[in-house]
Amino acid sequence: MCGIAAVFSNRPIPFATIKKMTDIIEHRGPDGEGHQSLFDDKLWLGHRRLAIVDLSNNGSQPMSYKNGRYWIVFNGEIYNYIEIRKELEALGHRFVSTTDTEVMMAAYDEWGEACLHKFNGMWAFIIVDTMAKTLFASRDRFGVKPFYYAVKDGTIAFASEIKQLLVEDFVNKKANRDKVAKFLLFGEVNIEKETFFEGVNQLLPSEAMRINLDEGVGSLKIWRYYQPPLNQSMKRDGNLTEYQRQFKELLFDSVRLRLRSDVPVGSCLSGGMDSSSIVLVMHELFKQDGVRNNIKTFTSCFANKKYDEWEFAETIVEQAEADSYRVYPDMNDLFNEIEDLIWHQDEPFKSTSIYAQWNVMRLARQNNITVLLDGQGADETMAGYHPYISVYMANLIRAGEFQTAAEELKKLQETGLISATEPPGKVWLKIIYHALGIKIRRGSDVKELLKKEYQHINRTEIPTNFQEYLYTEIFGSLQSLLRYEDRNSMAFSIEARTPYLDYRLVELMLSIPGGYKIYDGYTKPFLRQAMKGIMNDKVRLRVDKKGFVTPEDIWYREKFAEIKSILLSDDSPLDLWIDKAQLKNWLNDPVKPFGKYHLWRLLSVHFWMKKFNLL
């Protein structure tokens, strides 16, 4: 895990430019930095290193291969690099380090751009072939690692974080007004090429880029190199037992690969199914290898039991014989740290739960952990969120699977899952609407606040097909969670790894018929089955769901006078989007500001505009 930077232009670039781009992300790589000039200073590569594999200087970047023909800057990990290395050695390649970085360049030399299909990991990298005079760049399949770029006046700059592109005149420091408006209205973020900064774009998940250096920036080409297959059937076809076997085998192997590290590895632990499963799989793997390893786990807790999951996390800690560390986030601390948090996040964020994660990452660093495993991606790939239930039931009905729908509905009632977050009548209404193909209004509760020029903006539509819905979630809403995790972890020089986003697991789940995604009255049935006999049923059979939740509504009420003062201040940049008179009325309403994330979105944009001094 590191930070990368690069600049290519039709004219020489001063060293000071690339140096400033790497200096500003020292937090991403405190263990070293490097810079490389190519083509008479018209191309610079820069890197900040967080040493994870091969801690020697052999792992320093920018790194070269084949006597300087290839140069690379790379952020991420290729977990199966040992297997790929063996394959390449059999083909005649030789290595001077034990890093995955060198393996990537050899793979590119051997297989060209098709090397991407060999990699199991997370990445954002740039490879320059000085002989062919090409620049090849890529972002991993599911967007775990960030990759930003900006093009201006014959120059293109690349970065791991947007703030790197602001140190020079690569872009105008101006907010993307429509993107911000869409965020204020619907909370949408990180699902499109454009970012919140005008002129700054991102490579989307599964995208690659090529530039012919002789032809300049105008030759830039971007394409999607990966699209996982999708089984759209709702019929419970196939061998369920075989699906379950494959899932468990791949889950254990995914965690095993993500334990490869030359520095200490720990795990986040919320008390929910996803992180609890990771901790217990780690424990099982260590037992199988005869290793005594007291796993370090890190949990966000709250005194208010409505928001606290320690009761469940403690059960897992005892089962795994783990060393547990806890932190108690506080709203006063959040307000004291909000500028730092915003600066590291680069863009606004939807809720204060990001601050809970921020505290967990800091706690891990304070206890000498450099790599953390986490459960991102499980809900999206395995239909774990409760709102998926109504779409699932409706799709069974529309597919003519009436018996399965009736049986599953009964079981959902028996387990209590159908009423875990919403009144059953509301769930029933959603099922009927979805089954009839009637679009449920997904408007905005704050549309009245926005100025007329932003009233036309609509929410991104989601598919009504259940399997397509999950697919869209992976490449849609999950992206904001991955951004939060990347920035929060790297703020404290920690590498976060996501076992549920092993492409083999994702492909398996997308290939399994939708009818199996909710089973016997439970979401995530494959994970629950895999953990049978391993995880205490108190956690394994939970139907309530919290995640990195915070007592947000309580915090708002405690600090409401201060929040109102901030939002209504004469110098608030929210005036670009918000009608101040309408905002004042809205804030004076005893109900409207509370219960949802709208208040935080307003605060987040306010602080973001101020921190980055945007127009």
Average pLDDT, the chain: 96
Which whole-number Å values give the CA distances from 93 to 106, 114, 479, in the listed order?
A: 7, 17, 36
Tell me: do 311 and 366 sit in the same domain: yes
Mean pLDDT of 441-454: 87
Return the H-helix or E-strand segment holding 134: strand 134-139
Tell me: do 96 and 213 sit in the same domain: yes
Which whole-number Å values give the CA distances from 15 to 7, 45, 46, 197, in the listed order?
A: 10, 10, 10, 25
The token pair at 30 is 């405190």
Q: What pLDDT does residue 461 have?
A: 85
Is residue 446 over pLDDT 80? yes
Mean pLDDT of 427-443: 81
Is there a domain that residue 461 lies in? no
Is there a domain that residue 142 lies in? yes
Is there a domain that residue 186 lies in? no
Mean pLDDT of 466-476: 96
Question: What is the C-alpha separation between 23 and 37, in angstroms, rounded?
Answer: 17
User: Do 44 and 17 meet the contact criterion of CB atoms below 8 Å apart?
Assistant: yes
Question: What is the C-alpha separation between 403 and 405, in angstroms, rounded?
Answer: 5
CATH number at residue 333: 3.40.50.620
Return the H-helix or E-strand segment holding 586: helix 580-588
Q: How confident is the model at residue 440 (pLDDT cuts 50, 70, 90)?
A: low
Q: What pLDDT does residue 595 have?
A: 78
Tell me: do 50 and 150 sit in the same domain: yes
Tell me: do 137 and 65 sit in the same domain: yes
Tell me: do 506 and 530 sit in the same domain: yes
Mean pLDDT of 227-240: 96
User: Do 38 and 130 meet the contact criterion of CB atoms below 8 Å apart?
Assistant: yes
For the stretch 79-88, pLDDT in tens is 999 999 999 9
Residue at token pair 């759209």: 232
Rg (CA), the chain: 24
Mean pLDDT of 111-126: 98
Is residue 89 over pLDDT 80? yes
Is residue 58 over pLDDT 80? yes
Is residue 1 over pLDDT 80? no
Is residue 441 over pLDDT 70? no
Residue 512 half-sphere exposure toward CB, CA atoms < 13 A: 27
Q: Could you say which of 540, 563, 584 is where a domain stops?
A: 540
Q: Quick one: how far is CA 340 from the chain centroid?
A: 20
Catalytic (active-site) positions: 2
Is there a domain that residue 528 lies in? yes
Tell me: do 71 and 161 sit in the same domain: yes
For the stretch 387-424, pLDDT in tens is 999 999 999 999 999 999 999 999 999 999 988 878 88
Domain enclosing residue 390, as ranges: 385-444
Poorest-pLDDT segment among 150-164, 548-562, 564-578: 548-562
Is there a domain that residue 233 lies in? no
Residues near 439 by Cβ (< 8 Å), separated by ≥ 6? 433, 464
More confident residue, 368 or 423: 368
Residue 581 half-sphere exposure toward CB, CA atoms < 13 A: 1
Other beta carbons within 10 Å of 551: 19
The token pair at 378 is 């499980």
* Percentage with pLDDT > 90 across the chain: 91
The token pair at 115 is 């090397």
Tell me: do 41 and 69 sit in the same domain: yes
Phi/psi of residue 489, each to 5°? -70, -45
Residues annotated within a binding site for L-glutamine:
100
Tell me: do 40 and 91 sit in the same domain: yes
As for how many domains the chain has, the answer is: 4
Q: What pLDDT does residue 547 have?
A: 67
For the stretch 143-157, pLDDT in tens is 999 999 999 999 999
Q: Could you say which of 515, 540, 565 is where a domain stops?
A: 540
Other beta carbons within 10 Å of 402: 10
Tell me: do 30 and 134 sit in the same domain: yes
Is there a domain that residue 458 lies in? no
Residues annotated within a binding site:
100
For the stretch 352-366, pLDDT in tens is 999 999 999 999 999
Tell me: do 37 and 83 sit in the same domain: yes
Tell me: do 72 and 215 sit in the same domain: yes
Q: What pLDDT does residue 444 have?
A: 86
Mean pLDDT of 263-273: 96
Tell me: do 37 and 49 sit in the same domain: yes
Nearest to 84 by CA among 69, 99, 72, 66: 99
Is there a domain that residue 460 lies in? no
Q: Could you say which of 540, 566, 582 is where a domain stops?
A: 540
Is residue 592 over pLDDT 70? yes
Other beta carbons within 10 Å of 291: 8
Is there a domain that residue 370 lies in? yes
Q: How confident is the model at residue 503 (pLDDT cuts 50, 70, 90)?
A: very high
Mean pLDDT of 493-521: 98
User: Do 225 and 207 meet the contact criterion of CB atoms below 8 Å apart?
Assistant: yes
Question: What is the C-alpha separation between 600 and 583, in angstroms, rounded?
Answer: 14
Q: How confident is the model at residue 278 (pLDDT cuts 50, 70, 90)?
A: very high
Q: What pLDDT does residue 245 have?
A: 98
Residues near 370 by Cβ (< 8 Å), separated by ≥ 6? 50, 52, 261, 263, 264, 265, 493, 494, 495
